[in-house]
């Protein structure tokens, strides 16, 4: 493993072009303007290097010199600590804990549904699509409280929510103008950020032409 990582002088990210987990890592990299070599791989034809570096053979996988990381949230928090400006997590321990809890809930409640929607099982996908739509719309009041998700500042929580909301058209999920007004305003605010726009792969850009 060390020999493979040592061949790479620049930070490297193994990323799938239409993977929500990879996308949220790319958002963090763009927000912090980190120099990185992004290798967009084909999930059906993964390079041998990836399996040697990551025992789960999954994306995203980050290589930083001799360090190899392969969980999206671990990668995001590492990047935020390694490159502290601009900060994407609160400094206060209590507020930081709330942010981590929000991250946990989004992963548990939304990202698990994405896996079901993309599973290829029509019945499972239909049920997951319905649950995801209801869950997103039920959070409308929360999106209205602050400019960003429960925060005045853009955080890793927003970096995690944005890829899900960006993919709603792909999943056939609509956000009604009246019921979802706070969500639509949030989406406009987050999607217009330079970091978000720079993070998009060609495949992701095509979701919302």
Q: Residues of the chain with pLDDT > 90: what percent?
A: 91
Specify the pLDDT at position 10: 81
Average pLDDT, the chain: 94
Specify the pLDDT at position 18: 93
Q: With 70 as the cut, is the pLDDT of residue 6 above it? A: no
CB–CB of 26/38 below 8 Å? yes
Find residue 63's DSSP bridge partners: 12, 68
Q: With 90 as the cut, is the pLDDT of residue 73 above it? A: yes
> What is the set of active-site residues?
19
> How would you label 165-182 residue by residue, b for 16+ Cβ within 10 Å and e otherwise?
bbbbeebebebeeeebee
Mean pLDDT of 168-172: 96
CB–CB of 90/101 below 8 Å? no
Q: Phi, psi at residue 202, to the nearest 5°?
A: -60, -40
Mean pLDDT of 75-104: 95
CB–CB of 103/160 below 8 Å? yes
CA distance 142 to 196: 21
pTM: 0.93
CA distance 106 to 104: 6
Mean pLDDT of 13-34: 97
**Strands, E, within the chain: which ranges?**
12-16, 37-41, 61-64, 67-69
Specify the pLDDT at position 2: 43
Dihedral angle, C-alpha 45, 51, 52, 58, nearest 10 °: 120
Specify the pLDDT at position 203: 96
Q: With 60 as the cut, is the pLDDT of residue 194 above it? A: yes
């Amino acid at each position: 493993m060390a020999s493979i990582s040592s061949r790479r002088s620049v930070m490297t990210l193994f990323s799938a072009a239409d993977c929500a987990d990879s996308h949220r890592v790319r958002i963090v990299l763009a927000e912090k303007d980190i120099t990185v070599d992004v290798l967009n791989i084909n999930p059906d034809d993964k390079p041998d290097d990836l399996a040697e570096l990551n025992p789960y053979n999954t994306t995203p996988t980050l290589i930083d010199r001799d360090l190899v990381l392969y969980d999206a949230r671990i990668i995001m928090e590492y990047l935020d600590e390694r490159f502290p400006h601009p900060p994407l997590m609160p400094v206060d321990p209590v507020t930081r804990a709330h942010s981590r809890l929000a991250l946990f809930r989004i992963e548990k409640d939304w990202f698990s549904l994405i896996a079901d929607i993309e599973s290829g099982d029509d019945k499972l996908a239909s049920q997951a699509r319905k649950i995801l739509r209801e869950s997103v719309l039920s959070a409308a009041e929360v999106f209205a409280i602050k400019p960003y998700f429960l925060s005045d500042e853009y955080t890793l929580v927003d970096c995690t929510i944005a890829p899900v909301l960006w993919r709603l058209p792909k999943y056939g999920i609509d956000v009604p103008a009246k019921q979802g007004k706070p969500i639509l305003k949030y989406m406009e605010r987050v999607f217009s950020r330079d970091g978000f726009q720079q993070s998009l792969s060609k495949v992701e850009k095509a979701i919302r032409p």
